[in-house]
Structure 1
Amino acid sequence: MDFTCFWLGLLLPLAATLDFSYHHQEEMEAFLKTVAQNYSPITHLHSIGKSVRGRNLWVLVVGRFPKEHRIGIPEFKYVANMHGDETVGRELMLHLIEYLVTGDGKDPEITNLINNTRIHIMPSMNPDGFEAVKKPDCFYSNGRENYNEYDLNRNFPDAFEFNNATRQPETMAVMKWLKTESFVLSANLHGGALVASYPFDNGVPATGTLHSRSLTPDDDVFQYLAHTYASRNPNMKKGDQCKNKMNFPNGVTNGYSWYPLQGGMQDYNYVWAQCFEITLELSCCKYPREEKLPFFWNDNKASLIEYMKQVTVPGHSPYLTKVIIPEKSQTFSALKKDILLPFQGQLDSIQASNPPCPMIPLYKELPSHSAATKPSLFLFLVTFLHIFFK
């Protein structure tokens, strides 16, 4: 017996390369379970719920402490395949998972990410929609919606107007997930265009809609995040690669400026979960032929990694401080408290201070606002920009 071949056979599952093809539910599950088994110290595979047809909504967590939150370790997430016929992101997430777990301990950049970030990856939020598509198609197909024919990116509570769409199992699972994890930064991956889009997707005159835009109080941060991703994608940053589509300067757009939508996931993340999320449109063709997938991976790999790195600030130690919310807070306001983090070794020489929190109006109270933005339901946004973004 050739013992060399025997040992290579034992090692093959750890070294086998994920192929560039479309992986349906059973194949995707098999891959995720194999990764979770072979890289158990740094991975945790779990389902956050089920689709209408009972398919698991899998999330693979990668990190040094994958099963629990640790103080000072920020929570990051990627969600793909929200529209079932927008497929590139689904496959990129599987290749990103492979890239992360195989790079741990070998690639200093990846090792540092895993040491300092808890990364949650959901390859498919709409597995029923993906399975419903019969063949690749660049345009609209029935697989866009979930099995109940609801567009999941129009199905979340909306901060600006009442959204009476029946909440779907996939949407409810994500909403529950957001309550259980303290996500800081996120992106949801789509197809059909080539652009990084940032909140708001909906709005009112107070957010700038009279000027064909809708901006958050953190617009500078969102523009920076979108530019971080687009600038490292050689085709996205050109802004004009999709025929018969809008041109996007530098591959970036405000969501409302592109087109308004109600009940979107990125607005929900920002308003209700205090998570900075942008939308990444990764391909002009929604469901391209699988031989194109290696090109999409090459175009997006650096962007995917660099975007994750925005959630960590190298050289700093965790720093705890107290934030006091006044009892008589101004109606329709958010609290902002900037925290200047000292470098390691400087904590002892700097005295902590707690200046009064300025009251920053988020929106003016207008008749067009829904109950979602009334003070009793609106969540205060406490922005720690110097902690997570620099």
Structure 2
Amino acid sequence: SPLSNQSSASEKQPLNSSLRLRFNSSLTHSITSSPALSIRREHAGSSSGNVLGRVLLLQLIDDLVRGYRNNETWSLQLLNSTRIHILPSMNPDGFDDAGTHCQYSQGRFNQNGIDLNRNFPDAFAGLRRQSRAVIGWLRTESFVLSANLHGGALVASYPYDNSNGGSELVGGASITPDDDVFVHLAKVYSHNHGSMHQGDSCNDNALFLDGITNGYQWYPLSGGMQDYNYVWAQCLELTLEVSCCKFPPVRELPALWTENKRALRAYIQQVHLGVKGRVFDASGAPVQNAVVEVKGRRNMCPFRTDRYGEYYRLLLPGNYTFTVTYPGHEVLTETLNVPYGPDQYSAMKHDFLLQRTPTDPTQVKPTQVNHHGGPSPSAT
């Protein structure tokens, strides 16, 4: 339809494949005009279709389509400004194996016994056997924001999930360079959720302040998808644990959808945080693989422009100093004042124009631009 299309995210296994759907009012692949967001159900479901993550995403699909057809403002604004990719079940094998219970392991693994939420290249180790279909999917789109839905707890978890000492450890948490943004995103979900923000621990020993947690501080794991997405795919992702019961009974599903409906909408809208734009070389052509760094936010793998020369950085409002590097061109440094974009359904747009490196390397000097008429402040 004009609003959606579908494809498979499966390396053809004998039995099942993972169907993904994309929703947007246009066919653009530009992240500056319509940033891409993905939402997935990671593990399982049941043959009778009553597992929370899958049901929530199917409800979200219905919510988006109905709202758009009824000309509801919230849906029109989201779908006119955002590419929303929904993968209702990444593990259809597990979906067919699960039932309606709160047991942790049943339905977690695919038909080959692999837990797909632990089967991604770890940012702190060498590459391991990969969930190739979903990794391939991530490479076809420049995703900006992502979420995966789980059951078994009630908390919004953010990276890192793992550490080798290379990340910053603060109070038992493994902190990313974009920790402030991750904490903000987690709070957006938890405070728009019906009860997550209350910090219910599901009868565990500890409460979650504001209903959020750093993944490593909660429990360390390797091969998790949210670390992979952040480090290798330049995409900020949360793990949303949306029910204390992993496989709740049918009678509880309507209330659980009501609890999560507003939070899902609000989270999608956060894809419009920060700043976006393109990087142009001295001839005015957009360039791929230019490194776009923000002072004070040095990532393991630097954020780079895509094949369209586009970049996108999710940032909270404030002043930030950007450094853009591309072979054969001078290093460009600019300071930007970034506003809050979600209310306008658009991040701030700013393009970077590079200058050729002089033939005499001794003449190379960083190009500095301050958009406030004064010396460049530090990133805040």
Aligned to 2:19: 58
Correspondent of 2:123 among 159, 173, 177 = 159
SS at match of 1:214: strand
Note the C-alpha offset of 1:312: 2.2
Aligned to 2:72: 107
**Residue type matched to 2:182 in 1?**
F
The equivalences for 1:241-260 within 5 A come to 241-244=201-204, 246-260=206-220
Aligned to 1:372: none
Correspondent of 2:265 among 298, 302, 305 = 305
CA contact (8 A) 1:77 1:185 kept: yes
CA distance in 2, matches of 1:157, 1:92: 28
SS at match of 1:221: helix
Q: Structure 1 residue 123 and structure 2 residue 88: aligned? A: yes
SS at match of 1:147: coil
The equivalences for 1:1-390 within 5 A come to 40-50=1-11, 52-66=13-27, 68-69=29-30, 71-84=32-45, 87-104=51-68, 105-133=70-98, 135-162=99-126, 164=128, 166-167=129-130, 171-209=131-169, 211-244=171-204, 246-312=206-272, 319-322=277-280, 324-325=290-291, 334=302, 337=323, 339-340=336-337
CA distance in 1, matches of 2:299, 2:93: 42
- Residues 191 and 340 of structure 1: CA distance in aligned 2, closer, same or farther (over 3 Å): same
Aligned to 2:309: none
Higher mean Cα deviation, 236-245 or 252-261?
A: 236-245
CA contact (8 A) 1:43 1:66 kept: no
SS at match of 1:149: coil
Note the C-alpha offset of 1:210: 7.2
Give aligned-pair identity as a percent. 44
CA distance in 2, matches of 1:155, 1:234: 32
Note the C-alpha offset of 1:213: 1.2
CA contact (8 A) 1:196 1:281 kept: yes
- Residues 66 and 286 of structure 1: CA distance in aligned 2, closer, same or farther (over 3 Å): farther
Question: Which structure: greater strand fraction?
Answer: 2
How many residue pairs were aligned? 305
**Residue type matched to 1:74 in 2?**
P
Note the C-alpha offset of 1:340: 4.6
Q: Deviations over 1:314-363 (max 9, x none)?
A: 9x9x743448549xxx996746557556999xxxxx997779599xxxxx
Note the C-alpha offset of 1:208: 3.2
- Residues 331 and 67 of structure 1: CA distance in aligned 2, closer, same or farther (over 3 Å): closer
- Residues 117 and 248 of structure 1: CA distance in aligned 2, closer, same or farther (over 3 Å): same
**Residue type matched to 1:289 in 2?**
P
CA contact (8 A) 2:278 2:352 kept: no
Note the C-alpha offset of 1:49: 1.7
- Residues 176 and 291 of structure 1: CA distance in aligned 2, closer, same or farther (over 3 Å): same
Note the C-alpha offset of 1:142: 2.8
Aligned to 2:306: none
Note the C-alpha offset of 1:285: 0.3
CA contact (8 A) 1:230 1:303 kept: yes
Q: Deviations over 1:75-101 (max 9, x none)?
A: 011011424579311100000000001
CA distance in 1, matches of 2:367, 2:92: 44
SS at match of 1:82: coil
SS at match of 1:310: helix
CA distance in 2, matches of 1:53, 1:245: 42
Q: Deviations over 1:258-295 (max 9, x none)?
A: 00000000000001110010100000000010110001
Note the C-alpha offset of 1:139: 2.0
